[in-house]
Chain A
Amino acid sequence: MSMINYASREINCKLVYYGPGLGGKTTNLEHVYTKVAPDQRGKMVSLATETERTLFFDFLPVDLGTIRGFKTRFHLYTVPGQVYYNASRKLILKGVDGVVFVADSQVERMEANVEAMQNLYDNMAQYGYDLTKVPFLIQYNKRDLPNAAPIKDLQAQLNPGWPVEDPAKQKPAPDPWHAGESLVFQQDGAWVERAPYFEAVAVTGEGVFETLKAVAKLVLITLG
């Protein structure tokens, strides 16, 4: 739940990186941490197991600039991807303003991706949040690996789109990040919307800031 603090003149928003185990959520935050100037970010907190698997969450606050005299401060969280940790995963979603789903592009991880996506939808629903109505995007990570599935297949499995019921939204919307593609379009006569997506190689940082900026922007726009 975003909070506007008129005393400190800050807008605070919570972003959650969700996705299957070992998909690269923690790596996304680590890259942001190393690249953002120290005066624009806080300490990174990681509650992890001895083997560096996220146990509860990672946390990193970053300032992304000033709008209308208010500092925009984003609190980045990752959840533990391992299926076993669902209770803590759910807690982290509380009050979320924007979600990034970090998918593991490797063909072998397709099923884990699909399961994690379903789990995200279910956990959101338990708080009364509708994944199709909150700022949400998908990052296809590990694009550097030879066994990475084609984007087309990942999109078909993880981002097939949801029906657009609101008549006001039933008009074509181009995908601002991919020329020639659409976020809202007609399919077999019905209007469908897809989440924006990004390709990334989190270990080298490719696509990491693009993803962060895009979700941050969607969150600020919904605040409007």
Chain B
Amino acid sequence: MTGAGTWSIAEDDHRKITEHLAALLQESQARCALVVDRTGQMLANAGDALKFDPAAFASLTAADFSANDQLAKMIGEPEFASLFHQGEKESMYLADVARRAILVVLFDQRTTVGMVRLKVKQTVTDLSRVFEEMFGRASQGGGAKAPGLLEGAEDEIDKLFGD
């Protein structure tokens, strides 16, 4: 590999992810759920409208997770598959999805961390399947990799950046 590469998320993948998130919220009574990729980009969310800047939140989530990954290695664990941050009213639970993405669940006193943890397990399995399919297609050179969305767009790119 020479660079980080490209991948893409199709409308259909996005719909599947959002459906799994909605199911999780229903079963766990959590407030909202988000999926962020490992480089810090927000992929999908469901539940209560976000009251914060989603991009900032996503970048911090990825940084939090990757810093903890390194801490895990230092103490001899391959990874921390999940993280729990407890607040007075709001708490968050983060779980790894197939080493590709991070599932973040925000919840309050209407539920418990035990319930969230329990329900997240199924969602992680479901989401992992979606991501593995998406990336499987990408590595076969079709589907998830945008086949030359910007092919021949040099003129347009020039125009965009010409002053």
Known: A45-B59, A61-B59, A68-B153. 15 other contacts (CB 8 A): A1-B5, A2-B4, A3-B43, A4-B7, A5-B43, A7-B9, A7-B10, A42-B53, A47-B63, A57-B63, A68-B156, A70-B149, A94-B39, A95-B39, A217-B160
Determine how close the nearest CB of chain A comes to the CB of B46; give it in whole angstroms. 13
Q: Is A133 an interface residue (CB 8 A)?
A: yes
From A58, which residue of chain B is reached at the shortest CB distance? Answer: B59
A129 to B4 Cα, complex, angstroms? 7
Q: Is A190 an interface residue (CB 8 A)?
A: no
* Neighbour of A6 across the interface among B9, B37, B59, CB < 8 A: B9
From A56, which residue of chain B is reached at the shortest CB distance? Answer: B63
Q: Determine if A133 and B9 form an interchain contact, defined as CB atoms under 8 angstroms apart.
A: no
Q: Is B11 an interface residue (CB 8 A)?
A: yes
Q: Is B55 an interface residue (CB 8 A)?
A: yes
Q: Determine if A65 and B3 form an interchain contact, defined as CB atoms under 8 angstroms apart.
A: no
Binding site for A on B (CB under 8 A): 1-11, 13-15, 37-41, 43-44, 53, 55-56, 59-60, 63, 66-67, 70, 146, 148-154, 156-158, 160-161, 163
Q: Is A97 an interface residue (CB 8 A)?
A: yes
From A9, which residue of chain B is reached at the shortest CB distance? Answer: B11
- Given the complex, which residues of B lie within 8 Å of A47, measured CB to CB? 63
A7 to B134 Cα, complex, angstroms? 14
Q: Is A14 an interface residue (CB 8 A)?
A: yes
Q: Determine if B1 and A12 form an interchain contact, defined as CB atoms under 8 angstroms apart.
A: no
Tier of interface size on chain A: 35 or more
From B158, which residue of chain A is reached at the shortest CB distance? Answer: A217
A193 to B13 Cα, complex, angstroms? 40
Q: Determine if A224 and B14 form an interchain contact, defined as CB atoms under 8 angstroms apart.
A: no
Q: Is A64 an interface residue (CB 8 A)?
A: yes
- Given the complex, which residues of A lie within 8 Å of B60, measured CB to CB? 45, 59
Determine how close the nearest CB of chain B comes to the CB of A121; give it in whole angstroms. 13
Q: Is A118 an interface residue (CB 8 A)?
A: no
Determine how close the nearest CB of chain A comes to the CB of B138; give it in whole angstroms. 10
Q: Determine if A224 and B161 form an interchain contact, defined as CB atoms under 8 angstroms apart.
A: no
A4 to B153 Cα, complex, angstroms? 15
A113 to B158 Cα, complex, angstroms? 31
Q: Is A87 an interface residue (CB 8 A)?
A: yes
* Neighbour of A4 across the interface among B6, B37, B59, B151, CB < 8 A: B6
Whether A7 touches B11, Cβ cut-off 8 Å, given contacts A70-B149, A94-B66, A95-B39, is yes
Determine how close the nearest CB of chain B comes to the CB of A145; give it in whole angstroms. 27
Q: Is A213 an interface residue (CB 8 A)?
A: yes
From B70, which residue of chain A is reached at the shortest CB distance? Answer: A87
Q: Determine if B149 and A221 form an interchain contact, defined as CB atoms under 8 angstroms apart.
A: no
A97 to B76 Cα, complex, angstroms? 31
* Neighbour of B2 across the interface among A43, A65, A77, A134, CB < 8 A: A134
Q: Which of A119-150 contact B (CB under 8 A)?
A: 127-130, 133-134
Q: Determine if B4 and A68 form an interchain contact, defined as CB atoms under 8 angstroms apart.
A: no
From A209, which residue of chain B is reached at the shortest CB distance? Answer: B163
Determine how close the nearest CB of chain A comes to the CB of B60; give it in whole angstroms. 7
A129 to B5 Cα, complex, angstroms? 10
A129 to B160 Cα, complex, angstroms? 28
- Given the complex, which residues of B lie within 8 Å of A7, measured CB to CB? 9-11, 13-15, 44
A92 to B39 Cα, complex, angstroms? 8
Q: Determine if B56 and A128 form an interchain contact, defined as CB atoms under 8 angstroms apart.
A: no
From A135, which residue of chain B is reached at the shortest CB distance? Answer: B3
- Given the complex, which residues of B lie within 8 Å of A4, measured CB to CB? 6-9, 146, 149
